[in-house]
């Protein structure tokens, strides 16, 4: 067996695992950048939006309804304010302050309401901004702790006040860290699971491909008799295995046909050659005498001519087959089938007279024009008439009919034994010979050649249903009537005088 082809450093299995690993890692890295990078900022924004929603209009109206018209606040007003701040703190989980400006104070320095020390609330930039517009939301670090800041301006008794909220977001870094840890754990688990699945899958795939490779090498080395392993998986490798199996079966059929052809050819060629050699030897012996037996010599000569014609038919079949396989281009031109049929029928006059077989040409349809190669059409008609003459009994008839619609057609029918039902398609295969050969020569190529020639002219050669005998129809594309004279196909050969085999 030839040496197996070399493989790369890692082989297909290593490459598959490597590609899966790199793809998984790259996917996880992109996901980490896209998810974990903006995660903390996204959580901060979500916290700010939640704070804005909680500090809606009802809350602001509640503070605007407080008696904040005196600064410093009297005891009753201060109690009401502290109570409102406590309720909001409990609801938000945050520190709440109210700032206002005294009439005699500098507007750039916000003053508290006397409830808290302004040094404990961190930066007051948002509060100053809020006095100049409706609200401000931001983030800041107070005593090394992150806070979400909110400053909302409202009006009470004609004066502007600011509601300041300081909400701790110490839990955000912990949440980000928890998500990062969970993502890392999930990524490692996913990577491990990918490797667990990829390695056996790639190993199974490589084993299946290796079996196919070994089968292909055996097929190349030992021939089409090698059995291809069955792979029923519905994937590309399974399709490849089934395709390789189909190829092996076709090669096996071709090999069987080739062997059958070689056996048939050796027999069919050897028999007439041996007979021809023997008859010529007897003829030479007769002619050596001073007074040769001319009657016997004529008989031997006629038999020798019959064997010569037999060899000619075999050679013609092989030549036609080689031309078909070589894809020799056929002509495509208008052909008048009536005149062509008359010329071909005339070639068979001798064989029909000796056996009193009548060939009736039905040309009542008038001129029938078809598009095709004149020589190939004549060759197909010769095959059909030759077969009909071979199987037709003594004193019977052969019919040749032509029609022009819907396609141009020539039909040849005989009164022979017909075709067995299980051979209706087999007779069109190469090297297939009919059941009743009766010792007649032939490779079983005639009808196969006829069908292939017909198909190359965009036509068809069909076996019609018939009550008795066999009826074959050659269909061709119809052509417009030509202004030129119909082409007459000259006589190429005479038919054998008798026989019983379809080929």
| Sign of the CA dihedral with 295 first, then 297, 301, and 304 last | positive
CATH number, position 91: 3.30.450
| Sign of the CA dihedral with 448 first, then 450, 454, and 457 last | positive
The answer to whether residue 45 sits within a structural domain is no
Whether residues 187 and 273 fall in one domain: no
Q: What is the pLDDT of residues 265-291, one digit of tens each?
A: 676 677 777 878 888 888 787 777 777
pLDDT at residue 111 is higher than 50: no
Q: What is the pLDDT of residues 408-449, one digit of tens each?
A: 999 999 888 888 877 888 788 776 666 554 445 556 678 888
What distance in Å separates the CA atoms of residue 408 and residue 454, rounded to the nearest whole number?
12
The whole-number average pLDDT for the span 132-151 is: 85
**Lowest mean per-residue pLDDT among 239-248, 291-300, 452-461, 478-487:** 478-487
Beta bridge partners of 163: 98, 152
The whole-number average pLDDT for the span 380-406 is: 87
pLDDT at residue 501 is higher than 90: no
How far apart are the two ends of the chain, measured CA to CA in Å?
41
What distance in Å separates the CA atoms of residue 53 and residue 434, rounded to the nearest whole number?
95
**Lowest mean per-residue pLDDT among 18-32, 104-118, 334-348, 474-488:** 104-118
The whole-number average pLDDT for the span 183-210 is: 82
Whether residues 138 and 154 fall in one domain: yes
Whether residues 311 and 363 fall in one domain: no
The answer to whether residue 420 sits within a structural domain is yes
The answer to whether residue 484 sits within a structural domain is no
Cis geometry, peptide bond prior to residue 72 (ω within 30 degrees of 0): yes
Whether residues 212 and 160 fall in one domain: no
Both tokens of 349, joined, read 């006059």
The answer to whether residue 489 sits within a structural domain is no
Between 103 and 286, the higher pLDDT residue: 286
The answer to whether residues 98 and 111 touch, using CB atoms and an 8 Å cutoff, is no
Between 146 and 228, the higher pLDDT residue: 146
Whether residues 337 and 464 fall in one domain: yes
pLDDT at residue 123 is higher than 60: yes
Q: Which of 422, 415, 405, 410 is nearest to 472 (CA)?
A: 410
Q: What Å distances lie between residue 353 and 201, 340, 357, 359, CA to CA? A: 76, 21, 6, 10
- pLDDT cut 70: percent of the chain above it: 83
**Lowest mean per-residue pLDDT among 81-90, 101-110, 298-307, 326-335:** 101-110
What pLDDT does residue 482 have? 62
What distance in Å separates the CA atoms of residue 496 and residue 390, rounded to the nearest whole number?
8
Domains contained in the chain, number: 4
pLDDT at residue 78 is higher than 60: yes
The answer to whether residue 48 sits within a structural domain is no
Sheet with 460-464: list strands edge to edge: 358-362, 397-403, 408-413, 471-476, 460-464
Whether residues 31 and 178 fall in one domain: yes
What pLDDT does residue 117 have? 57
Whether residues 153 and 217 fall in one domain: no
pLDDT at residue 47 is higher than 60: yes
What distance in Å separates the CA atoms of residue 290 and residue 288, rounded to the nearest whole number?
7
Whether residues 186 and 151 fall in one domain: no
Whether residues 254 and 283 fall in one domain: yes
Q: Give the three-state DSSP class for 178.
A: helix
pLDDT at residue 481 is higher than 50: yes
Task: Look up the domain containing 217 and give its range.
Answer: 11-38+174-221
Whether residues 101 and 212 fall in one domain: no
Confidence label for 110 from pLDDT (cuts 50, 70 and 90): very low
What pLDDT does residue 5 have? 47
- Give me the chain's average pLDDT, please: 78
Between 434 and 176, the higher pLDDT residue: 176
What pLDDT does residue 107 have? 43
Q: What Å distances lie between residue 52 and 55, 57, 136, 163, 210, CA to CA? A: 5, 10, 10, 12, 66
Whether residues 96 and 188 fall in one domain: no
Whether residues 179 and 158 fall in one domain: no
CATH number, position 273: 1.10.287.130
Residue for token pair 């104070």: 105
């Amino acid at each position: 067996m030839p040496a197996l082809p070399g493989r790369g450093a890692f082989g297909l299995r290593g490459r598959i695992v490597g590609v899966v690993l790199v793809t998984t890692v790259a996917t996880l890295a992109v996901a980490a950048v896209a998810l974990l990078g903006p995660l903390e900022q996204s959580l901060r924004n979500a916290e700010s939006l939640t704070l804005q929603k909680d500090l809606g209009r009802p809350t602001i109206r509640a503070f605007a309804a407080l008696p904040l018209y005196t600064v410093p606040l009297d005891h009753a007003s201060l109690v009401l304010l502290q109570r409102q701040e406590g309720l909001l703190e409990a609801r938000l989980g945050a520190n709440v302050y109210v700032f206002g400006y005294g009439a005699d104070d500098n507007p750039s320095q916000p003053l508290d309401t006397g409830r808290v020390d302004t040094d404990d609330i961190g930066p007051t930039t948002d509060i100053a901004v809020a006095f100049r517009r409706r609200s401000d939301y931001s983030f800041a670090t107070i005593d090394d702790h992150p806070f979400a800041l909110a400053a909302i301006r409202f009006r009470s008794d004609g004066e502007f006040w600011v509601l300041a909220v300081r909400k701790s977001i110490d839990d955000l870094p912990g949440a980000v860290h928890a998500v990062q840890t969970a993502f890392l754990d999930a990524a490692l688990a996913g990577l491990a699971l990918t490797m667990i699945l990829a390695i056996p899958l790639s190993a199974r795939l490589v084993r299946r491909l290796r079996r196919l490779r070994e089968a292909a090498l055996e097929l190349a080395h030992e021939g089409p008799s090698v059995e291809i392993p069955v792979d029923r998986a519905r994937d590309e490798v399974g399709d490849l295995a089934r395709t390789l199996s189909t190829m092996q079966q076709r090669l096996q059929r071709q090999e069987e046909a080739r062997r059958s052809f070689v056996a048939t050819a050796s027999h069919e060629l050897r028999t007439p050659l041996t007979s021809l050699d023997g008859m010529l030897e007897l003829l030479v012996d007769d002619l050596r005498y001073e007074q040769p037996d001319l009657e016997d010599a004529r008989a031997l000569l006629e038999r020798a001519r019959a064997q010569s014609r037999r060899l000619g038919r075999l050679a013609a079949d092989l030549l036609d087959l080689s031309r078909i396989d070589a894809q020799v281009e056929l002509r495509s031109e208008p052909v008048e089938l009536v005149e062509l049929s008359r010329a071909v029928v005339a070639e068979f006059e001798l064989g029909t007279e000796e056996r009193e077989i009548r060939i009736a040409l039905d040309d009542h349809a008038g001129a029938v024009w078809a598009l095709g190669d004149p020589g190939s059409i004549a060759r197909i008609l010769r095959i059909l008439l030759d077969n009909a003459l071979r199987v037709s009994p003594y004193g019977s008839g052969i019919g040749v009919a032509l029609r022009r619609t819907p396609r141009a057609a020539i039909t040849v029918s005989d009164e022979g034994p017909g075709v067995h039902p299980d051979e209706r398609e087999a007779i069109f295969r190469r090297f297939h010979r009919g059941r009743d050969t009766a010792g007649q020569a032939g490779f079983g190529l005639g009808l196969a050649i006829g069908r292939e020639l017909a198909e190359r002219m965009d036509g068809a050669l069909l076996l019609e249903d018939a009550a008795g005998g066999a009826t074959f129809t050659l269909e061709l594309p119809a052509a417009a009537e030509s202004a030129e004279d119909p082409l007459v196909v000259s006589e190429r050969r005479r038919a054998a005088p008798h026989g019983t085999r379809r080929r």
